[in-house]
A and B are shown apart, each in its own frame.
Chain A
Amino acid sequence: MATRNISGEAIKELAQIVGSAHLLTESLEVSLYEYDGSVETGRPDLVVFPGSKHEVAALARWSNRHRVPVVGRGAGTGLSGGALAREGGVQVVFSRMNKILEIDVENRLAVVEPGVVNLDLSRAVASAGLHYAPDPSSQKACTIGGNVAENAGGPHTLRYGVTANHVQALEIVLPDGEMVRIGGGAVDPPGYDLVGLFVGSEGTLGLVVEITVKLTPLPESVKTLLAVFETADDATETVATLTAAGVTPAACEMLDGWTIRVVESSIQAGLPTDAGALLLIEVDGMREAAEEQAQAVIDLCRKNRAREVRTAQSERERETLWKARKNAFGAVGRVAPDCYVQDGVIPRTRLPEALRRIGEIGRRHGFDVGNIFHAGDGNLHPMLCFDHRKADEFARAMAAADEIIALCIEMGGSITGEHGVGMEKDRLMPLLFSQADLALMKGVRDAFNPLGLLNPGKIFPGGKGCGEIRIPAASATEGKRGTARVDEAGGSGPSGADGALRDRQA
């Protein structure tokens, strides 16, 4: 739904910037950018495919001049609606900017354009014995630009850290079209750590046009173990035991019984469908160390009543196990038309209790809740299956989801571990942050993005940007999803700037 009046003149200018072949204006084509991997939607008015960073800078100047929002997008695999144009405007799709610009094997660095696919980078450096460590489940499709925006994690986050730990420097385009380089070579660069600030800012601080990432040596030895448990409690207690014993694997993923059965029907990885839970544990390092650690893991699993602990015997077997894990969310499409994948964090020592209570919440709302998650760092991904065509299922699913997130917070956790806030969790922010916390964050955003033209309506409760009623942060959670829109055709006046100001005072 076109929500904005963008003048014919302005559209012509846009065509001059990127070339008319790289501009979509027809409603059919544009409508295909209203979704991503989440359950949210938000339709842009126009879509552009810039071919260079200079074109991106020109796009920013255009946006500034015409007061039209711009929203970056990689492959659209996000799970929180981070790349959706919630308030319309221009979708900037980075699929043409997909070149690996430089690979520096000696310094273990690579310079890439934002549209480079995560796994393509790892493949390109594999022959040099390196890889790009952050491995979100969507890594065969998602882009590094999107990973930077959302500070993406992945199973191996446990040992290797999230995207933020692997970005050395960035070149970004600010809303006024200025291009700046942040970060650099030194371990502790002088001045503010702007890279740390920028990674995970969900497209609200600037558009990334070039990324210098750190490459990590491939471990000499990798052992992948599959521990089979009769009950979810045994599996979660194993995770707590591993933590207590100081054993930190490279990855530690858990699948509950429901999820095992759904995944196995999709992948045929040979998972035991009668099991109560599985732990997929990977240890890596020098050969002897990996073997020693694998043995420690096996012993602890057995101690916690593991029915069986298998070790992958070949690279192919290992790939199959990971495929089962990484395809899990999609596999749910086999059992229900819609799947809401949540992203909450709890202290990993409280996993058994958390899972029990999530199951209870699901039952109360009439849903099966599947659980597959990064157990090692307490990052839960409860999956709620529903059918949006059935009267109240969407509403019930969202109500259950909110209760689950409230539970995470109550247990001392967080509302997102890696998917980002996006438009999914903006209204939950006040549950975690005080007014003062949020005001500080908004101050940061406004310093970069004073007119609110970059990815408006994200992160902060009550939407953000032009033409929106400002809802004081504290009351936002009582409101409905989304915000009331007063002036749908607006966006060309200075109201955005005013809004930002009012925000700061709120």
Chain B
Amino acid sequence: MASEAPARTTSLTAEAEDQGHYRDYARCVHCGLCLNQCPTYRLWGREADSPRGRIRQMFLVSQDEMPMSAAYVTHIDRCLDCRACETACPSGVEYGKLVELARGRIEQEYRRPPIPRFARNLFYRQLLPYPDRMAKLARLAGFYQRSGFERIATGSGLLKLAGLEARSQLMPRIDRKFFSTDATRVHEARGIRRARIAFFAGCIARMTFTSLNEATLRVLQANGCEVVVPGGQWCCGALAVHAGFRDVARDLARRNLAAFEQGDFDAVITNAAGCGSTLKEYGQLFGPEDKDHERAEAFGERVRDVTEFLDQLGLVSPLKREERRVTYQDSCHLLHGQRVREAPRRLLAAVPGLELVEMRFADQCCGSAGVYNITQTETALELLRQKTQHARETGAATIVTANPGCILQLRAGVKLASTGQEVVHVVEILDRALR
């Protein structure tokens, strides 16, 4: 694995990106149609924790009409960035972009208390950008999970005592073998080649969702895609963008731009909706004057979620019958971030015998939201409790979704509520039906 950290290319203070976004903010006509779609507004009923209220606060701060107070930071931190408000908004306010810019400014100008500041810097600056460090950490966690330490910690009630029981359920299971992206690999298409695509493997997913990544390759190959896994790729930067570390995200973006410019591909494919949404929006990370802006825009236009791509391409591989009732949980960054709603549903409907039962509020966030379930655990668990209830009501044996983060969260949910349901990705359903 590459051990070099990306070179720091942008100074922290060089940007004041959210200044002068008056036009973006002015699109909001404060009609309030977003309120009831916002998970935190639904929980607490507070304007300050609604999209409309957050837009007003971000606007006032961006115009220097309001100080960057602790209360302001709290309200912005509590946002899931699920972007359900964007789907609801008739005026086309790009809320995700605004909240990400606002968080960028918070990161630059606001001094958090020592412990969170230390933890954030450690994770976003010292770990996330370095594949080798992340891998070492993952191996350590894998050892903890497999060696019996975890069983002891759980069994002895130690985790419960520390209030960490639910939180430990949210931790990913580390794979024995990681999905490699050290060197470029090519996987031939099965049958006639219909497309040549580049696969984006993710960062944490590469160490915890190896089997999902492999299933994705199989499904793509079976449908006539030559799949290239470009070497040198790493984290998309979504977590960093969402936390306000825009310089880190830009450096990661440049690394991926270089990796995916190695060849000529029909599309760049990801099975992680959260990553896809950020990859598609790489252009937003670089101002119009930046030399990388155009590259980033061009790259973004080629990115497709795997469900979106397969749906457009059309399935050609024969699928065997699968008598099973499933329900689909929309991944926010697929539905709201990328506006892909029907594609995953159509793919599921293509499997003979599969019965899709819609759950209530399928379009509402499960509480995963990147690292939200770690930073705002209580809120995340409340949203998860509701989600688990809605999923249970459908009587489905399987909950299907389209993002590794959502899968982790939902698996924790079904475990905590002992519903016995399995949680899988859309492509895993297709993969099973292949054989």
Interface residues of A (CB under 8 A from B): 26, 28-29, 32-33, 35-37, 49, 75-77, 93, 95-96, 98, 115, 117, 119-120, 138, 140-142, 266-267, 327-334, 337-339, 387
A141 partner residues in chain B, CB cutoff 8 A: 32-37
**Measured between C-beta atoms, what is the minimum distance from B101 to chain A in Å?**
19
A33 partner residues in chain B, CB cutoff 8 A: 47
Complex CA gap A37/B29 in Å reads 7
B66 interface hit (Cβ, 8 Å): yes
B26 partner residues in chain A, CB cutoff 8 A: 333, 337, 387
A119 partner residues in chain B, CB cutoff 8 A: 36
Within the complex, which residue of A77, A332, A333, A337 is in contact with B32, where a contact is CB–CB below 8 Å? A77
Complex contact A333–B33 (CB within 8 A)? no
Complex CA gap A75/B103 in Å reads 26
Complex CA gap A33/B45 in Å reads 12
Within the complex, which residue of A28, A29, A140, A333 is in contact with B36, where a contact is CB–CB below 8 Å? A140
22 sampled A-B residue pairs with Cβ under 8 A: A26-B71, A28-B48, A28-B71, A29-B46, A32-B48, A36-B32, A37-B29, A75-B32, A76-B35, A76-B52, A95-B46, A96-B45, A98-B45, A119-B36, A138-B31, A140-B33, A141-B33, A266-B91, A266-B92, A327-B33, A338-B29, A339-B29
B88 interface hit (Cβ, 8 Å): yes
Complex contact A76–B32 (CB within 8 A)? yes
A-B contact sample (17 more), CB < 8 A, given A29-B71, A141-B35: A28-B57, A37-B30, A49-B46, A75-B32, A95-B45, A140-B37, A141-B37, A142-B32, A267-B90, A329-B29, A329-B90, A330-B90, A330-B91, A331-B91, A334-B92, A337-B23, A387-B26
B91 partner residues in chain A, CB cutoff 8 A: 266, 330-334
Nearest neighbor of B29 in chain A, beta-carbon distance: A333
Complex contact B90–A327 (CB within 8 A)? yes
B3 interface hit (Cβ, 8 Å): no
Complex contact A332–B29 (CB within 8 A)? yes
Name the 6 nearest CB pairs between A and B, nearest first: A95-B45, A333-B91, A330-B90, A327-B90, A337-B26, A77-B32
B356 interface hit (Cβ, 8 Å): no
Complex CA gap A250/B286 in Å reads 51
Complex CA gap A26/B27 in Å reads 27
Complex CA gap A13/B67 in Å reads 30
Q: Most B CB atoms within 10 A — which of A75, A330, A337? A: A330
Within the complex, which residue of A28, A29, A328, A333 is in contact with B28, where a contact is CB–CB below 8 Å? A333
Complex contact B57–A330 (CB within 8 A)? no
B89 interface hit (Cβ, 8 Å): yes
Within the complex, which residue of B27, B53, B89 is in contact with A32, where a contact is CB–CB below 8 Å? B53
A327 partner residues in chain B, CB cutoff 8 A: 33, 90
Complex contact B31–A77 (CB within 8 A)? yes
**Measured between C-beta atoms, what is the minimum distance from B245 to chain A in Å?**
25
Q: A26-B71, A28-B71, A28-B72 are in contact. Are A330 and B48 (CB under 8 A)?
A: no
Within the complex, which residue of A37, A49, A142 is in contact with B45, where a contact is CB–CB below 8 Å? A49
Complex contact A75–B29 (CB within 8 A)? no
B56 interface hit (Cβ, 8 Å): yes
Complex CA gap A98/B52 in Å reads 20
B369 interface hit (Cβ, 8 Å): no
B31 partner residues in chain A, CB cutoff 8 A: 37, 77, 138, 329-330, 333
Nearest neighbor of B54 in chain A, beta-carbon distance: A32
Interface residues of B (CB under 8 A from A): 23, 26-37, 44-48, 52-53, 56-57, 66, 69, 71-72, 88-93
**Measured between C-beta atoms, what is the minimum distance from A29 to chain B in Å?**
5
Nearest neighbor of B93 in chain A, beta-carbon distance: A333
A96 partner residues in chain B, CB cutoff 8 A: 45
Complex contact B32–A138 (CB within 8 A)? yes
Q: A28-B71, A29-B48, A140-B88 are in contact. Are A334 and B27 (CB under 8 A)?
A: yes
**Measured between C-beta atoms, what is the minimum distance from B115 to chain A in Å?**
25
B93 partner residues in chain A, CB cutoff 8 A: 333
Complex CA gap A19/B148 in Å reads 46
**Measured between C-beta atoms, what is the minimum distance from A362 to chain B in Å?**
19
B34 partner residues in chain A, CB cutoff 8 A: 141
Complex CA gap A332/B44 in Å reads 29
B29 partner residues in chain A, CB cutoff 8 A: 37, 329-330, 332-333, 338-339
**Measured between C-beta atoms, what is the minimum distance from B303 to chain A in Å?**
21
B27 partner residues in chain A, CB cutoff 8 A: 333-334, 337
Complex CA gap A333/B37 in Å reads 19
Nearest neighbor of A73 in chain B, beta-carbon distance: B47
Complex CA gap A267/B91 in Å reads 9
**Measured between C-beta atoms, what is the minimum distance from A440 to chain B in Å?**
34
Complex contact B71–A32 (CB within 8 A)? no
Complex CA gap A95/B42 in Å reads 9
B47 partner residues in chain A, CB cutoff 8 A: 29, 32-33, 76
**Measured between C-beta atoms, what is the minimum distance from A408 to chain B in Å?**
23
**Measured between C-beta atoms, what is the minimum distance from A460 to chain B in Å?**
26
**Measured between C-beta atoms, what is the minimum distance from B43 to chain A in Å?**
10
Complex contact A36–B30 (CB within 8 A)? yes
Within the complex, which residue of B23, B35, B69 is in contact with A28, where a contact is CB–CB below 8 Å? B69
Nearest neighbor of B23 in chain A, beta-carbon distance: A337
Complex CA gap A117/B32 in Å reads 12
Complex CA gap A332/B90 in Å reads 8
A337 partner residues in chain B, CB cutoff 8 A: 23, 26-27
**Measured between C-beta atoms, what is the minimum distance from B240 to chain A in Å?**
28
Nearest neighbor of B92 in chain A, beta-carbon distance: A334
Nearest neighbor of A324 in chain B, beta-carbon distance: B90
Complex CA gap A55/B35 in Å reads 24
**Measured between C-beta atoms, what is the minimum distance from A156 to chain B in Å?**
18
Q: Most B CB atoms within 10 A — which of A33, A95, A119, A120? A: A95
**Measured between C-beta atoms, what is the minimum distance from A267 to chain B in Å?**
7
A117 partner residues in chain B, CB cutoff 8 A: 36
**Measured between C-beta atoms, what is the minimum distance from B319 to chain A in Å?**
25
Complex CA gap A484/B26 in Å reads 30
Nearest neighbor of A93 in chain B, beta-carbon distance: B45
Complex contact A331–B90 (CB within 8 A)? yes
Within the complex, which residue of B23, B30, B69 is in contact with A35, where a contact is CB–CB below 8 Å? B30
Nearest neighbor of B69 in chain A, beta-carbon distance: A28
A29 partner residues in chain B, CB cutoff 8 A: 46-48, 71
Complex CA gap A119/B88 in Å reads 14
Complex contact A330–B89 (CB within 8 A)? yes
**Measured between C-beta atoms, what is the minimum distance from A27 to chain B in Å?**
10
Complex CA gap A119/B56 in Å reads 25
Complex CA gap A338/B66 in Å reads 22
Complex CA gap A334/B32 in Å reads 16
Complex CA gap A36/B32 in Å reads 8
B37 partner residues in chain A, CB cutoff 8 A: 140-141
Q: Most A CB atoms within 10 A — which of B36, B66, B69? A: B36
Complex contact A28–B32 (CB within 8 A)? no
B69 partner residues in chain A, CB cutoff 8 A: 28
**Measured between C-beta atoms, what is the minimum distance from A137 to chain B in Å?**
9
**Measured between C-beta atoms, what is the minimum distance from A373 to chain B in Å?**
17
Complex CA gap A75/B33 in Å reads 9
Q: Most B CB atoms within 10 A — which of A28, A77, A93, A142? A: A28
B45 partner residues in chain A, CB cutoff 8 A: 49, 93, 95-96, 98, 115
Complex contact A266–B36 (CB within 8 A)? no
Complex CA gap A33/B32 in Å reads 12
